[in-house]
Amino acid sequence: MLNVRSSIILEHDGSVALIQLNRPGKLNALSNELIGAFMAALDDIELDRSIRAIVVTGVGRAFSAGADISEFQPEMEAGPAEAIAGFLRPGQRLTRRVESFPKPIIAAVNGLAFGGGCELVEATHMALAADTAIFSKAEIHLGIIPTFGGTQRLPRHVGRKAAIELILSGRRFPAGEAFRLGLVNRVVPADAVLAETMKLALELSEMPPLTISAALSAIHRGMDAAIDDGLAIEEAAFARIVPTSDAREGVAAFVEKRSPRFQGR
């Protein structure tokens, strides 16, 4: 199935959906129209039980050059309330939705990921980067701070001092450094990044979906919790999974020395 929502392309063939950011002439800058189309695609994907993993990539030479600067300039000129409502909130809503999505979302970082593009990578559950990909917390060069959650997620992911350096300097950093920092899971040759990411998504799509969703939720909700609260979150997630057919099947298959047949129930 192919669904072109102007600034994004949503495709799915089987259990993996591919979302392509589709404003190549603007290096896939995240306009509010693009963010709205992305959110609508996620709503559709959440309800479609046949889709079990999602890949996000960019059309053309960029993953994304971040928030659409021409679009948010007038909002900034209008003042803080307008800039927050028109620019910060849509971006924060998107990254929060991605981060807390119940199915795995994997970024295939095909090119530059600056500003909000880097924040989108931060929010995805996993990321593979082309060896040619370049990252930057570019906002400082515009005299602003990251606004799609980047001041909060990056320090949690890469540590406080590394995040401070990147956010305050805005310097460009290569895929290899993004890997060492833990921002991406793997670096692969540029011409293989989409295929490798699709392969990973397919592997995840064959796992028991209720269990995948419980693991994502426990990790996501537990990240900011004290350890005792996190362990309680884990306990509640496990309690939801124990009665599922897939958990019974997975354990029974091991005991019976055969491959499990997961049915998503």
Which of the residues 46, 75, 77, 139 is marked catalytic?
139
Stretch that binds ligand COA, among 41-49, 133-141, 151-159, 231-239 (CB under 6 A): 133-141
149: left (phi over 0), alpha (psi -120 to 50) or beta: left
In angstroms, what is the minimal distance from the CB of 30 to ligand COA?
8
Which residue lies nearer to ligand COA by CB, 53 or 138? 138
- Which position among 119, 196, 203, 206 bears the catalytic label? 119
CA nearest 123: which of 140, 100, 90?
A: 100
Q: How far apart are CA 107 and CA 193, in angstroms?
A: 10
What single letter denotes the amino acid at residue 133?
Answer: A
The binding track of 48-67 with respect to ligand COA, each residue x by CB under 6 A or -, is -----------------xxx
Q: How far is the CB of 113 from ligand COA (least distance, A)?
A: 10
Which residue in 58, 111, 115, 209 binds ligand COA (CB under 6 A)? 115
Q: Is 250 helix (H, G, I), strand (E, B) or coil?
A: helix
Whether 256 is a known active-site residue: answer: no
Q: Of 31 and 185, which CB lies nearer to ligand COA in the complex structure?
A: 31
CA 152, CA 42: separation in Å to the nearest integer? 23
46 is catalytic: no
Question: How many residues at the interface with ligand COA, by CB under 6 A?
Answer: 17
Residues 142-161 that bind ligand COA (CB under 6 A): 142
| Cβ nearer to ligand COA, comparing 143 with 243 | 143
Query: Quick one: CA dihedral 226, 230, 233, 235, positive or negative?
Result: negative
Q: Which of 9, 10, 63, 68 binds ligand COA (CB under 6 A)?
A: 68
Q: Closest distance between ligand COA and the C-beta of residue 64, in Å?
A: 8
Q: Can residue 139 be called a binding residue for ligand COA (CB under 6 A)?
A: yes
Least gap, CB of 161 to ligand COA (angstroms): 22
- How many angstroms separate the CA atoms of 242 and 45, rounded? 26
Within 217-246, the residues that bind ligand COA by CB under 6 A are: none
Q: Are strands 8-12 and 16-21 parallel, antiparallel or unpaired?
A: antiparallel
Q: What does DSSP say about strands 172-174 and 134-136: parallel, antiparallel, or unpaired?
A: antiparallel
In which element (H, E) is residue 44 found?
A: helix 32-47
> Binding residue for ligand COA (CB under 6 A) from 70, 143, 255, 256?
70
Does 83 contact ligand COA by CB under 6 A? no
Distances in whole angstroms, Cα of residue 246 to Cα of each of 195, 201, 216, 250: 28, 19, 17, 6
Q: Which of residues 11-40 bind ligand COA (CB under 6 A)?
A: 26-27, 29
Q: Which residues contact 188 (CB under 8 A, 6 or more apart)?
A: 128, 129, 130, 131, 196
Binding residues for ligand COA, rule: CB under 6 A, are: 26-27, 29, 65-70, 112, 114-116, 138-139, 141-142
